[in-house]
Structure 1
Amino acid sequence: MGKIFITGGSGLIGSIVNKKLSKNHEIINLDLYESNINSTKTIIGDMNNFEDVLSGSKGCSAIIHLGAVIEVNTSWELVLKNNFESTRNAYESARLNNIDKVIFASSNHAVGLFENDSPYKDIVKGNYDGLDPQNIPIIDHNVPIRPDSYYGISKAYGESLGRYYYEKFNIQSINLRIGTVQKIDTPKNSVRHFATWLAHDDIAQLVEKSIDNKLGFEIFYGVSNNKWRFWDIKNAYNKIGYEPTENAENYRK
């Protein structure tokens, strides 16, 4: 039972992950406001303040870096302040505190411009005519980065930083290219979500299995087993046994 430090743990994904991990781990949450999970200890602090991250993560066995501005169209100034510096703070704190694993909340937006191409541009619009869901070219961890925004660039940067800290300091770096997580746990808000949805139970499973397995530098896609999914889940299955249980198609009416 290790102690885990989470940045941004009071947000949507943080609350989902906290609830799952707190059953078997002691959780230390760093955020600007309290977590709604009673079993989680929250330090009121700022992920952009290096000393807050360094002191808060001392004695932990892993860092889960969820904290960020998450709006895709966020300005460069806010992305630079909140996403670049905070990610470096997480990795540098891991190095100085001898923490050997960082799980980084990357994003599908690090490769978002693939959705300008066929067949993805049709799938996200719900134009399925002539498409076979069993023969969609899958976007996997080997594709080049194609960020679609400053936000996506910040996530690609985080992955690069993780590669550096893994190869230079042997800190395990697990980068989760997270799909669409909704507060109300269904994919119904957008036709795109029938391809990109990530259910609460599935993100919790993905993070927990990333914690529980010894890894190196990895990129896993956070997506449920949706009929029209075009992101890879095979790599995560092979490396950590990730088996998403939800399929967005079951919610289509």
Structure 2
Amino acid sequence: MMIDTPAEKPFHRLLLTGAAGGLGQVLRERIKPWAHIVRLSDRAGMGEAGDGEEIVQCDLADKSAVLALTEGVDAVLHFGGISVEDRFEPIMQANILGLYNLYEAVHKSGVKRVVYASSNHVTGFYRNTEIVDADMPLRPDGFYGLSKCFGEALSRYYYDRVGIETVCLRIGSSFEQPKNARMMTTYLGYDDLVELLRCALFTPRVGHTIVFGTSDNDASWWDNRKASHLGFRPTDSSRRFKYLFPDTAERPGDDPATIFQGGPFVTAGPMY
């Protein structure tokens, strides 16, 4: 059996924001083999620190607190912020101001790599008959999607201006199993999520890369060829859950949730 020695861990300290969230809780243990210390951050409680962990409660809207959060960090996995559709004001504080604070702190602390949890909702107003790649115009489906568009643009700016590399993960639907028929297309299994993070962290040069986070599902709306340098090869698939969603009669053709890739997000905002 191989003994895990400190020399075998490529990072001294990784920062995971949003550690109390759904995906943060999934990643908490799974990323430990990559670093001596995993610094966990969220506004909510995260319990007691385990072996190789640091716990830091932090509001991303607090600029000085975020600066302290990034000190001594080698790379950031940014899963913090609001992850559902909401009013603009709270989204602005967490996902727009909070992300600006994070990148300013990353710059001042000398961090050179960020993996940013973006979302498929930056392109949610493409029809589900279209195939979307990383260079196509953004078409967000709500204020949440708009905030992720801002994040992708902000991270590009910090790469062009000061050389901070970012991989933007346009995550589909990452759950233990698909929750509805739409997620049979957007499903990203947890093992594939971790592998995508590994590729995003360990690829020697990523510049500013956008990659769609999806498993090897039977249907796909997204073309990942422009992120092929990451070497991401999904091994999971939603096809093992086909029994959950047997074929049913089509819903009305004018239902936006079935026409557009964003599904129910396209009608979830306060305009409706």
TM over 0.5, yes or no? yes
Amino acid at match of 1:159: E
1:139 maps to 2:132: yes
2:143 is matched with 150
Deviation at 1:89, TM superposition (A): 1.2
Aligned partner of 2:17 in structure 1 is 7
2:167 corresponds to 1:174? yes
CA distance in 2, matches of 1:165, 1:22: 27
Question: Is 1:110 matched up with 2:110?
Answer: no
Separation in 1, partners of 2:147, 2:34: 31
Contact 1:30 1:53 in 2 (8 A): no
Structure 2: state its 5+ residue gaps. 1-9, 244-272
Residue of 170, 176, 183 corresponding to 1:193: 183
Cα distance per residue 1:218-243 (max 9 Å; x no partner): 1011111100121123333x211111
TM-score, structure 2 as length reference: 0.80
| Displacement after TM superposition at 1:35 (Å) | 5.4
Find out whether 1:233 has 2:240 as its counterpart.
no
Deviation at 1:118, TM superposition (A): 5.1
CA change 1:118–1:175 in 2 (3 A) is: closer
Number of matched residues?
A: 229
Q: Equivalences for 1:28-67 in 2 at 5 Å?
A: 28-32=39-43, 33-34=45-46, 38-39=50-51, 40-67=53-80
State the Cα distance separating 1:10 from its structure 2 match. 2.1
Aligned counterparts of 1:118 and 1:34: Cα–Cα separation in 2: 38
Q: Is the 8 A contact 2:216 2:236 kept in 1?
A: yes
CA drift of 1:175 comes to: 0.7
| Per-residue deviation, 1:8 | 0.8
Q: Gaps (5+ residues) in structure 1?
A: 120-136
Q: Is 1:206–2:196 an aligned residue pair?
A: yes
| Bigger radius of gyration | 2
* Alpha-carbon distance in structure 2 between the residues aligned to 1:91 and 1:35: 27
Q: Distance in 2 between matches of 1:175 and 1:158?
A: 9
- Corresponding residue of 1:252: 242
1:89 to 75, 96, 101: 101
C-alpha contact 1:63 1:90 (8 A) present in aligned 2: no
Name the % identity: 28
Moved runs in structure 1, 4+ residues, more than 4 A?
none
2: CA distance between counterparts of 1:204 and 1:170? 25
Alignment check: 8 A CA contact 1:186 1:251 kept: yes
What CA distance in whole angstroms lies between the structure 2 residues aligned with 1:242 and 1:48?
A: 33
